[in-house]
Amino acid sequence: MEKRLRDIAEEARRSLDSVSSLAELDEIRVRFLGKKGELTRVLRKMGMVPAEERPRIGQLANEVRDVIEKSLAGRIEAVKERVKEERLRQEGIDVTLPGLPVTRGRKHPITLVTEEIAGFFLGLGYSIAEGPEIELDYYNFEALNIPKDHPARDMQDTFFIEPEILLRTHTSPVQVRAMEKATPALPVKIIAPGRVYRRDDDATHSPMFHQVEGLVVDRHIALSDLKGTLDLFARKMFGIGIHTRFRPSYFPFTEPSLEVDISCVMCGGDGCRVCSSTGWLEILGSGMVHPRVLEMSGYNSEEVTGFAFGLGVERIAMLKYGIDDMRLLFENDLRFLQQF
Ligand code: PHE
């Protein structure tokens, strides 16, 4: 029995020398130390050992188990360490290798134009306001003096989510939100760039497009402030030599309302295809904030006045860069986008 125990220790040692994986190590553990393993089998026969020998044999058996367990544990550690090193070597990153070139991206023309517009107005002391694209009927229409049965709603048909919730058709609801937030403080002087939606789709209309809204409310704001501001704006965007023309128009939320034209950027005013031989291009809608809108937003229309304007960013971009089809702006063709 004593010899058998020493043999087991020797066998285990030899088997352990040649293993290289955790699975093999486990097999060895089961083979020698398991319930039906070599050592257990020997110990079952303890009964056959004379009583006076038992303590010595028992102690020897324990020693053999200890030795096997210790060398098993040692091997497991060694194998784990090797596997880890192997993995580290394979996954290693050489931080000294030169990087892969990433071609520099560029801004979309809509972003470029929006930033240029914002830059101009920020320079005049305006701040930027925002509102939700999913808007309440109240802010998009009602509070802008466009009640449910008003014909002006037809020109701004849109996508309704619920009867009272829709995709905003213009950035003008931000006027109302900005005034509600500011009242009774003065002045209110904001621009609001953002996406708007309409049921429209052709070479000059997209169901989603971008606008920049502007609003100034204070004491003594006059039509001349509107004209001076927008004339300066047009010349900043299109060049110092450009002329502006203010035409009477109609919006339910401004009174009076004005459409702003610039002299044609293509022909300089002589008349061409782009300006339909008129010499003028319409660039934005504007007007003096309607007293009813001021009142609904919390201001006393006896004491304050204001002007507002709204322009289409796509339209400005098309005129500025000579783009003849609005859809080009949304197709994400790099050959087009890389020109800006
Ligand atoms: N919201 C108007 C439109 O989208 C433009 C506008 C804004 C007109 C502000 C007047 C004042 O057509």
User: Whole-angstrom Cα distance, residue 128 to residue 134?
Assistant: 19
Amino acid making up residue 315: R
Enter the DSSP assignment of 49. S
Confidence of residue 54 (pLDDT cuts 50, 70, 90): confident
Residue 166: how many CA atoms within 13 Å on its side-chain side? 23
- How remote is the CA of residue 111 from the centroid of ligand 1, in Å? 20
CB atoms within 10 A of CB 125: 9
Ligand 1, pocket-test mutation among 253, 289, 305, most atoms within 8 A of CB = 253
Is the pLDDT assigned to residue 32 strictly greater than 90? no
Cα(179) to centroid(ligand 1), Å: 16
**Which 8-state DSSP code applies to residue 37?**
S
Mean pLDDT of 193-220: 95
Residue 110 amino acid letter: I
Q: Which residue has the higher pLDDT, 4 or 231?
A: 231
Give the tokens for residue 132.
């939700």
Residue 320 has pLDDT above 90, yes or no: yes
pLDDT at 329 exceeding the cut of 90: yes
- Predicted confidence at residue 156, as pLDDT, reads 93
Lowest mean pLDDT among 16-20, 161-165, 328-332: 16-20
8 A C-beta contact, residue 317 and residue 329: yes
Using a pLDDT cut of 90, give the percent of the chain over it: 67
pLDDT attached to residue 306: 98
Contact 267, 279 (CB under 8 A): yes
Q: How confident is the model at residue 121 (pLDDT cuts 50, 70, 90)?
A: very high
Q: Which residue has the least CA distance to atom 2 on ligand 1?
A: 310
Atom of ligand 1 nearest to the CA of 171: 1
Residue 110 confidence (pLDDT) = 98
- The whole-number pLDDT of residue 23 equals 85
37 lines ligand 1 (CB under 6 A): no
114 lines ligand 1 (CB under 6 A): no
Q: Is 173 touching ligand 1 by the criterion CB < 6 Å?
A: no
Q: Which residue has the tokens 């096997």?
A: 68
Instruction: Please work out whether the CB of residue 214 comes within 6 Å of at least one atom of ligand 1.
Output: no
| Top-confidence residue, 36 or 309 | 309
Query: With 90 as the cut, is the pLDDT of residue 55 above it?
Result: no
Write the pLDDT tens digit of every residue in 247-283: 999 999 999 999 999 999 999 999 999 899 999 999 9
pLDDT at position 122 is 98
Structure-model confidence comparison of residues 47 and 278, the more confident one: 278
pLDDT classification of 28: cutoffs 50, 70, 90 = confident
pLDDT band at 230 (very low <50, low <70, confident <90, very high): very high
Residue 261 is predicted with a pLDDT of 97
Taking the centre of ligand 1 as the mean of its atom positions, its distance from the CA of residue 310, in whole angstroms, is 4
The tens digit of pLDDT for each residue in 131-182 reads: 999 999 999 999 999 999 999 999 999 999 999 999 999 999 999 999 999 9
Q: Average pLDDT for residues 18-25, to the nearest whole number?
A: 83
Q: Is 170 in the pocket of ligand 1 (CB under 6 A)?
A: yes
Strand partners, 189: 216
93 or 298, which is more confident: 298
Distance of alpha carbon 155 from alpha carbon 175, whole angstroms: 20
CB distance 109 to ligand 1 below 6 Å: no
Q: Is the CB of 279 under 6 A from ligand 1?
A: no
β-bridge mates for residue 210, sequence order: 195
Contact between residue 284 and residue 313 where contact means Cβ atoms under 8 Å apart? no
Å from CA of 246 to ligand 1 middle? 14
Q: What is the pLDDT of residue 22?
A: 84
Closest CA to ligand 1's atom 10: 286
Residue nearest to atom 5 of ligand 1 (CA): 310
Q: Is 172 in the pocket of ligand 1 (CB under 6 A)?
A: yes
For ligand 1, atom 6, the nearest C-alpha belongs to 310
pLDDT of residue 335: 95
Nearest CA to ligand 1 atom 7: 310
- Mean pLDDT, rounded, of the chain: 93
Which pLDDT tens digit goes with each residue over 88-105?
888 888 889 998 998 889
